[in-house]
Amino acid sequence: MRRSVALASMASTASTVAAALVACSSGGGPDPASSGEGSSSAPAGGAGSTVVVRNFAFGPRTLTVAAGTKVTWRFADEADHNVDITQPKVQSPNRHAGQTFGYTFTTPGTYDYVCSIHQYMTGRIVVK
């Protein structure tokens, strides 16, 4: 009796560890050398100019950048998504995992956008 309980708890611990490892390795993933698109010389703003599209959400939901920054959306979901900016009207093609879309914001303001396929996916770019 006792022994089987111990075995069961060991087994569940092992599977928890395995699940954690899987979750971890599917998380980041190596950057595919950014395929020469943009990111050549990152001016002011630099690091924080990427929005990751994953699990039917934009992250970060609100991104603040300096005027003139190219924002890159990096698609990392199994489903296709896009970026549909309300004003000015800018819509990316539908993108799937591994693809990106870039747009340079030159004028300060607040830019709301959605994924037009899943309109509950909302995001905002604040340009200073």
Q: Which of 50, 112, 118, 122 binds Cu ion (CB under 5 A)?
A: 118
Residue 17 interacts with Cu ion (CB under 5 A): yes or no: no
Q: Report which DSSP code applies to 11.
A: H
Nearest-approach distance from CB 73 to Cu ion, in angstroms = 11
> 111, 69, 77: which is closest to 94 by C-alpha?
77
Nearest-approach distance from CB 108 to Cu ion, in angstroms = 27
CA 42/CA 39 separation, integer angstroms? 6
Query: From residue 68 to residue 107, what is the string marking binding to Cu ion with x (rule CB under 5 A)?
Result: -------------x--------------------------
Is residue 45 within 8 Å of 106, Cβ to Cβ?
A: no
Nearest-approach distance from CB 33 to Cu ion, in angstroms = 26
Sign of the alpha-carbon torsion through 128, 82, 25, 6: positive
User: With CB under 5 A as the contact rule, which of the stretches 9-17, 57-65, 100-108, 112-120 interacts with Cu ion?
Assistant: 112-120
Residue closer to Cu ion (CB basis): 84 or 104: 84
Q: What are 111's two structure tokens? A: 């830019």
Residue 22 interacts with Cu ion (CB under 5 A): yes or no: no
Residue 117 interacts with Cu ion (CB under 5 A): yes or no: yes
- Buried b / exposed e over 53-92, threshold 16 CB at 10 Å, is bbeebbeeeebebeeebbbbbbbbbeebbbbbbeeeeeeb
Which residues sit at the interface with Cu ion, rule CB under 5 A? Answer: 81, 115, 117-118, 121
